[in-house]
């Protein structure tokens, strides 16, 4: 049978959409999420003090993203609204990282396979700090709605493989916060052998601190980041 002029197979359409999304994500500066002794650490190369790549979703849940800011910000806001509604309607303990990750997966998967609007150029991580390090949860979601339950480390954006390899070499379960931050920044600055410097003011750093009673999310100010990086 002769195919009509301009026909493109469904497989090629999906491949093109995936390539488009991956290229947009790869252009973004890296964001990493990793566990440390007392919680979960988020570090992003981000010179903007107003446009955050890292945010709080709920009491023990954080959010990190790379890609197009307006797209992942819409996802963040939707997650906050869903968490607030569920916590208000039922119980705060009913708001989980797994439920948020499943919701995001459905949204991203629907957009990717719709065939209409372009796919979201985003990759996100939903992190939930547990009562112990063994119960920490890291969920990585890609542009097509795929979701993976990661262990200890997630790296998104440009040079993700190089940064991830460096983190895995130095990571351990009992890593103190200062040492974890230095490891994270070292991995960012030496990605792909570049050996460059990143000032504390160009970093966005936050933690989910399991030692806090309820609201575990806390941003680290530039002065505290610089002090940690300068510590021996």
Confidence (pTM): 0.92
pLDDT digit string, tens, across residues 144-200: 999 999 999 999 998 899 999 999 999 999 999 999 999 999 999 988 777 788 899
The whole-number average pLDDT for the span 44-66 is: 94
- pLDDT tens digits for 107-151? 999 999 886 678 999 999 999 999 999 999 999 999 999 999 999
Domain boundaries, the chain: 28-230
Supply the CATH classification number for the domain 28-230: 3.60.20.10
**At which residue do the structure tokens 């007392």 appear?**
38
**Cα 137 to Cα 215: distance, rounded to the nearest angstrom:** 17
Residue 194 backbone phi and psi in degrees, to 5 = -70, -35
Cα gap 171→41, rounded to integer Å: 12
């Amino acid at each position: 049978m002769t195919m009509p002029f301009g026909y493109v197979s469904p497989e090629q359409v999906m491949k093109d959409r995936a390539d488009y999304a991956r290229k947009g994500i790869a252009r973004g500066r890296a964001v990493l999420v990793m566990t440390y002794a007392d919680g979960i650490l988020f570090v992003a190369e981000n010179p903007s003090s107003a446009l955050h790549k890292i945010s709080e979703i709920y009491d023990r849940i954080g959010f990190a993203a790379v890609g197009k800011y307006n797209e992942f910000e819409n996802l963040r806001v939707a997650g906050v609204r869903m968490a607030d509604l569920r916590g208000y309607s039922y119980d705060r303990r009913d708001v989980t990282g797994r439920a948020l990750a499943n919701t995001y997966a459905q949204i991203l998967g629907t957009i990717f396979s719709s065939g209409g609007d372009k796919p979201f150029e985003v990759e996100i991580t939903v992190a939930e700090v547990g009562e112990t390090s063994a119960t920490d949860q890291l969920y990585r979601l890609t542009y097509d709605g795929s979701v993976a339950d990661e262990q200890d480390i997630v790296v998104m954006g440009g040079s993700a493989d190089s940064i991830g390899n460096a983190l895995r070499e130095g990571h351990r379960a009992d890593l103190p916060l200062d040492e974890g931050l230095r490891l994270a920044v070292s991995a960012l600055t030496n990605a792909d052998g570049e050996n460059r410097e990143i000032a504390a003011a160009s970093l966005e750093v936050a933690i989910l601190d399991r030692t806090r009673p309820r609201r575990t999310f806390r941003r680290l100010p530039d002065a505290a980041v610089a002090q940690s990086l300068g510590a021996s």
